[in-house]
Structure 1
Amino acid sequence: MSIENTSNPPQIDFNTPAQKRLRKVRALKDKLATMGIAFGGISVIIAILLIFFYLLYEVAPLFQSAQIEKWKVNEQQIEDYAAPGTGKTLYLAMEEQAEIGLRVSDSGEVIFFNVRTGETIQKQQIKLPAGSRIESHAVISEAQHLFALGFSNGEALVLKHDYKSTYPNGVRLITPSIKYPVGEAPIKVGDKPLKLLSVSHNEESWNFVGGDETGLQQTQLTVEENMMTGEVDVSSETDTLPSFNLKAQDLLLFPDRRWLMIAGKSKLAVVDLKAQGGPQTTQVLEVTKGEITSFQMLLGGNAVLIGDSNGKISQWFLVRDEATDWKLTRIREFEGGESPIVDMAIEHRRKGFASLDADGTLRLFNTTAARKSLTETITQTIADRIAYAPRSNALLLEQNGVMSLWAIHNEHPDISWSALWEKVWYEGYEEPEFIWQSSAANNDFEPKYSLMPLAFGTLKAAFYAMLLGTPLAICGAIYTAYFMVPAMRRKVKPFIELMEALPTVILGFLAGLWLAPFMEDQLAGIFVTILLVPIAIVAFGFVWAQVPNRIRFLIPEGWDAALLVPVVILATLFSLSVADGIEVLMFGGDMRLWISNEVGIPYDQRNALVVGIAMGFAVIPTIFSITEDAIFAVPKHLSYGSLALGATPWQTLTRVVLPTASPGIFSALMIGMGRAVGETMIVLMATGNTPIMDMNIFEGMRTLAANIAVEMPESEVGSTHYRILFLAAFVLFLFTFVVNTLAELVRQHLRKKYGSL
């Protein structure tokens, strides 16, 4: 028998060609994997940065200041030129393309001219009544090109400057003309010279208010067209207005033809022309410490602008008070200079205006945004007047009989921090409010771009979704990971995670078309179910614990939780069946009407409760899966050690397992909240999309994401509305970034705190 020598064990050669090739292949794979992972991570970071900078690129123009410069043709500034025609300018305007200007003088000349060169295109002489002269003019509507002239014999003439575009030989030709909407014959307004005049109209009637500082008269003109013959019948009615104890210097008649504003030296009288018993003065206000130098009506005919000798400009409009009376109220003031206001030009399509003061400084303002977007000195001496082009891209300045044309770049003046995030006092509202209303049916609409209702709706939807989904998801994950037997866990966990694959558009469809009507009909049953199902589960657990062991042991260990399924179903059916009786007993047979009428809480069919249930169902799988993995990944030796030291399973769970898994649980909550904040289809289809700020669970809302989905298709590319929607996306992006950053900091803190367990 031989003894084997073990002092020299066999040597393994690690440098064989095969081993070398294996190591090289492995090193290559490691390097490729490292490069691939690094490339993927860097690509994700670059993609996020590109999204960030693209959103910033689209949003940045909203906050750019306006610019003004002399109009250029072929990169050359055009020269100033003498005002065409004779006499003093009464009215100055431009057409749509800012190519043709209109000048009306006190001699009755109506001159159309090239605003680039000053060349006269067309000249007309208004036929003045015999022995009369032009005493005043009134702008009726800049958007409709309507104005009126008042004569010394008490008559007024309404004119409209019109422009027709044709394209002979492919070149645009604009042909101007003057029209007479109520006829070429002047309208008799009163028996006094019309040193003051204001005109308003609708489709069938015209109102003229005119006179001088000693008294005013009103003429109502009705135009009726015979539908059969086409003949036009004009009838008028004139009456003298009572004395208003104010030396009038200017008039403004609102488009509703009820309210007349009379400006004096420093005071303003508000006259109700349709008051019971006849026209009467409702207010006399001192509107400035100096003298009123400019008195204009803002686009829409609801607000007036007052410029004074101190360089101050204020906006006023009528507000209904608690006694249902209308009071003219100072809404806001605009920061100007110290020189008197010479003239103001109102934008034709936006709530903005330009002011020119005595030292030649031009300022551009927007009333809604309370924003001054430009301050620029454009002349060194006192100018006469300014006129806006309809597109607000050009400004015509007249100074000592010399005209100059200026180009304006002011794309988004109606956006400011206050317009986006603070309460704004909009025209027609009784107080400042947060309002989102981006469009309307008329051109005089005041856009309301407050993002507060949308941000509030986003957080409201996320809050109710998390309120429902978080307890169910976390408690379900705790039981599944810590108490459930492995065989059952292998069936339950994949089933719940499969819920995440359900398209949210399906959930939104079901929530809007089935769940919302069902909850409206079974509102009492929903609340009874919320109360009785937990009680039924606890009661069944207590009863099951008292059942003899020989019966309990018929169910395999760990599978007794499956018995809760029929318990929940039966408890829900029982709750819905008894809800009708409870509703009759406590709520008069209709809980929804009782909530609305007795408690005073509005109820919308598509509300936050519907969203909470539907969106909670969507976020439960995300929170459940991550939480369950975090709890299941807690090392078993921690649990075994705690149990071995005498702790109960519940104590071990609350004091060892949950603290150790807390970073993962917190991450699950943050990811679930991110999912709820960014959700689009469910809130789009189940909320009613009403941008209101109300925590009422029975009211709807509109979220930032849903608003983008609803309005982006109808927004004009490059418009203010379009960029505001990108701003909403940018806000969502920043919110997610900030929340995730804070969540990571908290998660790292929890990991450091409980990582030593």
Structure 2
Amino acid sequence: MSIDNTSLATELDFDTPAAKRLRKFRALKDKSASVGIAFGGISVIVAILLIFFYLLYEVAPLFHSAEIKQWQANGQAAAPYEAPGRGKTLYLTMEEQAEIGLRVTDQGEIIFFDTRTGDILQQQNIPVPAGTEITSFALASDASRIFAVGLSDGKVLAMKHSYKSTYPDGKRVITPFLEFPFGEEPLSVADSAVTELALNGDEEAWRIIASTEQGLALANLSFDENFITGEVETTVDTEALPKLRVPVSKLLLMPDRRWLLIAGNDNKLAVMDLAADGSETTQILDASTGNITGFSLLLGGNSLMVADDNGGISQWFLIRDDKNIWRLKKIRSFEGGTTAINGMSMEHRRKGFATIDTNGSLRLYNSTANRNVLTEQVVTGTASTIALSPRSNALLVEQDNKLSFWLIDNEHPEVSWDALWGEVWYEGYQEPDYTWQSSASTNDFEPKYSLMPLAFGTLKAAFYAMLLATPLAICGAIYTAYFMVPALRRKVKPFIELMEALPTVILGFLAGLWLAPFMETNLTGIFVCLLMIPAAILIFAFAWASMPKHIRYLIPEGWDTAMLIPVIILATFFGLWIADGVEQVLFAGDMREWITTELGINYDQRNALVVGIAMGFAVIPTIFSITEDAIFAVPKHLSYGSLALGATPWQTLVRVVMPTASPGIFSAVMIGMGRAVGETMIVLMATGNTPIMDINIFEGMRTLAANIAVEMPESEVGSTHFRILFLAAFVLFLFTFMVNTLAETIRQHLRKKYGSL
């Protein structure tokens, strides 16, 4: 039989117009698919890089160094100008916009002047009675703007500098003026010249402490308003205080008007409790190694800053000792120079301060971060006085009766490695601690930006979620992929994967409003069920295996698993039913109370156990789906070969299937962990959102993601708080990146190791 090659070639012609169009269309589809896949992959990488660099862009300003430069006029640094007024400076400050300065001199002159040029805007004299002179000065606080002068006749006159802004013709005009909060007449406090002075108070009452040659005198001021005339009458009650055992060179009164701080001429520091009987001196300390040259209260009046002529700077505040007695304690020292510090100025709205030494070196510090943010030579020689503006963006420096005006760029001094990741001793705390507390109702608040509680809470939530989800998901995937009959598998797998589509906000809502109260009420029942359900499954499995074959064969092979559903339901109800009796016998009728009193473990309704169950429920579908696919994808010939060689199904699973599928299983666990770490809504709604560091499963936590969701809407754009929230997002991004990188490395290692099976 012969074949006609000509006719065969005609029938198999690959160059027909239709075949050519088909090949061109197929080539176009292949090219489009290649380009589309490459474009999609590159786009994902570019998107991730853009997110990375945007986060870095928002975070980078936190770590910029502070800068200072002299104010320029016509493009050149302005020359220092003569300090307005006569005499020695007692007080130097600026108003909010740093446009108007105030200088108070020992000659009784109060001069408001232009900070840039020195031009006098307003000048007046302190109404000192004839025949008396100013012998001392005291500032209540920068925030109150109230200061007082002590006179040679034992009287004290308090004043307040204020400013009014108007906008004639659309141009801002600031008008300074002087107020007398306690009246224009000096108050009689002592019988002789006031050599040192301190005052503090609030709207209801004030207290003045005056030091004279005879000792200390105390004056309590109270105010009575005449409801008819509206006039306020000031009542002064004076008393003498016990003599001190240290010479007085400086006095400070804390805002609560209870604690008097005294600096001595011989580097001694004394503390007097004015609320104690007899107002005894409670402490005498060695404040420094040299003579005290700087003695001021930090913003809020809770911390004492001490500087000396050896260049030392230290921070002190009151804490309770082992006997529950208040003691002044040195908290931290700051890195400074070796020359004497002769000028110190506190920031008005942050826990920072500035110092200048006899060499003219200016240093800016932040107390919370324990950080020297700037060291700069601003003058040659010794400067006598420095003054920060209320916004800490400008500085006045006085040297040889001349003033120079400087501009400061110091946006985020609160940030340091120790402040973010280390234990910090905050004001009012008994010991150093990791604390996140970004805002409060007072301007004197000390921000606490430790990311440690948030990172700890993130890992804690992920740990408990993975502790629940990982064994359940992997074991379920093993049974579904390897032991379950195909017909049942086709029903079970889509149902579990459908759980992944459930919005996490719904899970968080249910966890917070239903699961948390239910677990609090039935805590004993939960733990009884955790014991009853596995026991019931094992008992049922043993009983079912022991039944006669003609009964077991009534259920189609592989469908006997469905019989566990009623077993689990019955075991759950039984566990909840006997829980009350178990609680009465073992926990005296209240497991929560027993845990708190006997074990010393606090119980919060919204705790890590609730989060673990709710978030585990969200993570299970992810781990299950990927693990099940990895096990099901193991080539069947490997299983058949193992079974043919005499291995049992369980041995085949453990020694052949699981090692081969291990890269996929490991990837599933890592992806599930990434989901748990980044989860927001469940943690936000199912925990108390308390940033604490406690592994206790009955305590709540706050995670990085939840903290960002809660606080980002209320943070001021560009503020330290705002950028630290971006830093938290950056940390979360890096953590996820490192975990995924590690996971991919281990997965590739496992693939190479078991790829030859």
Report the TM-score, using the length of structure 1 for normalisation. 0.98
- SS of the aligned residue for 1:666 comes to helix
Residue 122 of structure 1 corresponds to: 122
Residue 268 of structure 2 corresponds to: 267
Instruction: Determine the C-alpha separation between the residues in 2 that align with 1:426 and 1:216.
Output: 32
Q: Counterpart amino acid of 2:22?
A: L
Residue 653 of structure 2 corresponds to: 653
Shift of 1:10: 3.6
Instruction: Determine the C-alpha separation between the residues in 1 that align with 2:755 and 2:69.
Output: 65
Shift of 1:702: 0.3
Residue 431 of structure 1 corresponds to: 431
1:203 aligns with 2:165: no
Instruction: Determine the C-alpha separation between the residues in 2 that align with 1:347 and 1:599.
Output: 46
| Cα distance, 1:549–1:694 mapped onto 2, change above 3 Å | same
Shift of 1:231: 3.9
Instruction: Determine the C-alpha separation between the residues in 1 that align with 2:460 and 2:552.
Output: 45
Q: Counterpart amino acid of 2:84?
A: P
Instruction: Determine the C-alpha separation between the residues in 2 that align with 1:232 and 1:584.
Output: 66
Instruction: Determine the C-alpha separation between the residues in 2 that align with 1:73 and 1:704.
Output: 47
- SS of the aligned residue for 1:520 comes to helix
| Cα distance, 1:105–1:5 mapped onto 2, change above 3 Å | closer
Q: Counterpart amino acid of 1:393?
A: N
| Cα distance, 1:186–1:497 mapped onto 2, change above 3 Å | same
Residue 446 of structure 1 corresponds to: 446
Contact 1:154 1:211 in 2 (8 A): no
Residue 511 of structure 2 corresponds to: 511
Instruction: Determine the C-alpha separation between the residues in 2 that align with 1:225 and 1:662.
Output: 82
Shift of 1:18: 3.1
Q: Counterpart amino acid of 1:91?
A: Y
1:161 aligns with 2:161: yes
Instruction: Determine the C-alpha separation between the residues in 2 that align with 1:17 and 1:8.
Output: 19
Instruction: Determine the C-alpha separation between the residues in 2 that align with 1:414 and 1:213.
Output: 43
Instruction: Determine the C-alpha separation between the residues in 2 that align with 1:235 and 1:212.
Output: 22
1:590 aligns with 2:594: no
Residue 26 of structure 1 corresponds to: 26
Which moves more between the two structures, 241-250 or 460-469?
A: 241-250
Matches within 5 A, 1:274-353: 274-275=275-276, 277-353=277-353
Residue 711 of structure 1 corresponds to: 711
Q: Counterpart amino acid of 1:201?
A: G
Contact 1:96 1:391 in 2 (8 A): yes
C-alpha distance after superposition, 1:480-528 (max 9, x if no partner):
0000000000000000000000000000000000000000000000000
Residue 750 of structure 1 corresponds to: 750
Instruction: Determine the C-alpha separation between the residues in 1 that align with 2:491 and 2:552.
Output: 22
Shift of 1:72: 3.1
Q: Counterpart amino acid of 2:366?
A: N
Matches within 5 A, 1:314-713: 314-713=314-713
Instruction: Determine the C-alpha separation between the residues in 1 that align with 2:13 and 2:473.
Output: 56
Residue 15 of structure 1 corresponds to: 15
- SS of the aligned residue for 2:197 comes to strand
Contact 2:192 2:213 in 1 (8 A): no
Q: Counterpart amino acid of 2:678?
A: G
C-alpha distance after superposition, 1:38-89 (max 9, x if no partner):
1111111010000000000000000111000012356443332111111111
Which moves more between the two structures, 206-215 or 589-598?
A: 206-215
Residue 42 of structure 1 corresponds to: 42
Shift of 1:8: 10
Contact 2:142 2:348 in 1 (8 A): yes
C-alpha distance after superposition, 1:275-333 (max 9, x if no partner):
1x211111111111111111111001011111111111111111111210111111111
Contact 1:596 1:602 in 2 (8 A): yes
Contact 1:213 1:247 in 2 (8 A): no
Instruction: Determine the C-alpha separation between the residues in 2 that align with 1:751 and 1:167.
Output: 74
Report the TM-score, using the length of structure 2 for normalisation. 0.98
Residue 61 of structure 2 corresponds to: 61
Residue 217 of structure 2 corresponds to: 217
Instruction: Determine the C-alpha separation between the residues in 2 that align with 1:7 and 1:641.
Output: 48
Instruction: Determine the C-alpha separation between the residues in 2 that align with 1:253 and 1:649.
Output: 82
Instruction: Determine the C-alpha separation between the residues in 1 that align with 2:157 and 2:236.
Output: 14
Matches within 5 A, 1:132-151: 132-151=132-151
Q: Counterpart amino acid of 1:716?
A: E
Instruction: Determine the C-alpha separation between the residues in 1 that align with 2:398 and 2:407.
Output: 15
Shift of 1:690: 0.3
Instruction: Determine the C-alpha separation between the residues in 2 that align with 1:152 and 1:359.
Output: 35
Q: Counterpart amino acid of 2:464?
A: Y
Q: Counterpart amino acid of 1:250?
A: K
C-alpha distance after superposition, 1:384-430 (max 9, x if no partner):
10001100000011111111110000000000000000000000000
Instruction: Determine the C-alpha separation between the residues in 2 that align with 1:72 and 1:681.
Output: 52
Shift of 1:5: 5.1
Contact 2:242 2:278 in 1 (8 A): no
Instruction: Determine the C-alpha separation between the residues in 1 that align with 2:423 and 2:499.
Output: 42
- SS of the aligned residue for 2:500 comes to helix
Instruction: Determine the C-alpha separation between the residues in 1 that align with 2:645 and 2:361.
Output: 84
C-alpha distance after superposition, 1:351-386 (max 9, x if no partner):
000000000000000000011110000001101100
| Cα distance, 1:227–1:524 mapped onto 2, change above 3 Å | farther
- SS of the aligned residue for 2:515 comes to helix
Which moves more between the two structures, 362-371 or 194-203?
A: 194-203
C-alpha distance after superposition, 1:98-137 (max 9, x if no partner):
0001011111111111111111111111111232111111
Instruction: Determine the C-alpha separation between the residues in 2 that align with 1:335 and 1:698.
Output: 43
Shift of 1:30: 1.3
Which moves more between the two structures, 12-21 or 566-575?
A: 12-21
C-alpha distance after superposition, 1:6-44 (max 9, x if no partner):
999944333344333322222222111111111111111
Instruction: Determine the C-alpha separation between the residues in 1 that align with 2:140 and 2:78.
Output: 31
Instruction: Determine the C-alpha separation between the residues in 2 that align with 1:473 and 1:304.
Output: 57
Which moves more between the two structures, 214-223 or 541-550?
A: 214-223
- SS of the aligned residue for 1:673 comes to helix
Computed over aligned residues only, the root mean square deviation of the Cα atoms, in angstroms, reads: 1.3
Instruction: Determine the C-alpha separation between the residues in 1 that align with 2:189 and 2:517.
Output: 61
Q: Counterpart amino acid of 2:133?
A: R
State the percentage of identical aligned residues: 68
| Cα distance, 1:314–1:204 mapped onto 2, change above 3 Å | same
Contact 1:213 1:249 in 2 (8 A): no
Contact 1:342 1:383 in 2 (8 A): yes
- SS of the aligned residue for 1:245 comes to coil
Structure 2 stretches of 5 or more lacking a match? none
Which moves more between the two structures, 126-135 or 57-66?
A: 126-135
Residue 85 of structure 1 corresponds to: 85
Instruction: Determine the C-alpha separation between the residues in 2 that align with 1:71 and 1:681.
Output: 50
Instruction: Determine the C-alpha separation between the residues in 1 that align with 2:78 and 2:684.
Output: 53
| Cα distance, 1:74–1:578 mapped onto 2, change above 3 Å | farther
Instruction: Determine the C-alpha separation between the residues in 2 that align with 1:6 and 1:418.
Output: 90
Q: Counterpart amino acid of 1:274?
A: A
C-alpha distance after superposition, 1:241-297 (max 9, x if no partner):
11221011111111111111111121101111111x211111111111111111111
Aligned residues: 754
Residue 739 of structure 2 corresponds to: 739
Structure 1 stretches of 5 or more lacking a match? none
Shift of 1:577: 0.6
C-alpha distance after superposition, 1:653-676 (max 9, x if no partner):
000000000000000000000000
| Cα distance, 1:394–1:212 mapped onto 2, change above 3 Å | same
Q: Counterpart amino acid of 1:138?
A: A
